[in-house]
């Protein structure tokens, strides 16, 4: 998952980032309203963890900005206990959920995972694409009932493809999804190519069809048509 953490309190921000980075998430951070707005204007996230009281502005305006531009990023509000009104406004504006500070990082992660699952995979814990069966909780892929091992990045890319099945995804969108904006995207096109090559090989060797089509000069498409 690609996550944006918007939180001005350094201790909390760092602990969230460390916690999510230990899993298979790519995290980006924003320290204040302006940097958060800059990020969401350019990049899309599976989920934005959003503090409301920020230097230079209110997190609610980030949600307004997303809606005004019809961006569909998931949003989880993290806010202080006494800001009930803001939480309600946030949910009315289209935030997916909220969590009151202080919270356990494990709960934050389950909430974020639930949001991403709900948005990308209609709340299913199992994702099925023809002969490919993915257990999202266990992160296990089975093909024709046979378990197939993928690396973290391969798994993340396979899910990304299936979530966007039938659509062309550009190499830069893939790079952004896998590594965030912290890297020079062009340097990673070779890595994308080798990840795709490996995914294909594993799928085909396990008896799956080859669903990944290269759209010349544009990117890739995961499709069975």
Contact positions vs Ca ion (CB under 5 A): 8, 51, 53
> Which of the 8 DSSP states describes residue 224?
-
Phi/psi at 176 (5° precision):
-60, -40
Tokens 């690609």 belong to: 2
Tokens 């500070």 belong to: 101
How far is 75 from 148, CA to CA, in rounded Å?
32
Q: How far is the CB of 141 from Ca ion (least distance, A)?
A: 39
Q: How far is the CB of 52 from Ca ion (least distance, A)?
A: 7
Q: How far is the CB of 54 from Ca ion (least distance, A)?
A: 6
Q: Is 132 helix (H, G, I), strand (E, B) or coil?
A: strand
C-alpha to C-alpha distances, 117 to 121, 123, 127, 153, nearest whole angstrom: 5, 5, 10, 18
Q: How far is the CB of 53 from Ca ion (least distance, A)?
A: 4
Q: How far is the CB of 221 from Ca ion (least distance, A)?
A: 41
**Closest CB to Ca ion among 82 and 122?**
82
Beta-strand runs (E) in the chain: 2-6, 26-30, 47-51, 53-54, 57-58, 74-79, 97-100, 126-129, 132-135, 140-143, 146-148, 168-170, 212-215, 219-222
**Closest CB to Ca ion among 52 and 178?**
52
Contact criterion met (CB below 8 Å) for 19 and 171: no
Q: How far is the CB of 55 from Ca ion (least distance, A)?
A: 8
> Which of the 8 DSSP states describes residue 183?
S
């Amino acid at each position: 998952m690609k996550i944006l953490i918007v939180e001005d309190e350094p201790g909390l921000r760092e602990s969230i980032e460390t916690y999510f980075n230990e899993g298979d998430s790519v995290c980006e951070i924003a320290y204040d309203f302006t940097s958060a707005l800059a990020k969401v204007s350019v990049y899309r996230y599976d989920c934005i963890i959003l503090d409301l009281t920020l230097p230079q502005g209110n997190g609610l305006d980030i949600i307004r900005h997303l809606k005004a531009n019809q961006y569909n990023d998931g949003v989880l509000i993290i806010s202080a206990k006494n800001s009930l009104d803001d939480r309600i406004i946030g949910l009315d504006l289209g935030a997916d959920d909220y969590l009151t500070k202080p919270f356990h990082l494990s709960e934050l992660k389950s909430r974020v995972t639930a949001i991403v699952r709900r948005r990308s995979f209609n709340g299913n814990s199992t994702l099925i694409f023809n002969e490919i069966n993915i257990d999202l909780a266990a992160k296990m892929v089975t093909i024709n009932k046979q378990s197939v091992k993928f690396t973290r990045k391969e798994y993340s890319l396979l899910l990304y493809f299936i979530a966007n099945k039938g659509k062309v995804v550009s190499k830069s969108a893939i790079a952004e999804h896998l590594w965030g904006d912290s890297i020079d995207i062009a340097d990673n096109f070779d890595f994308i190519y080798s990840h795709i090559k490996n995914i294909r090989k594993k799928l085909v060797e396990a008896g799956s069809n080859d669903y990944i089509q290269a759209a010349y000069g544009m990117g890739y498409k995961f499709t069975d048509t």
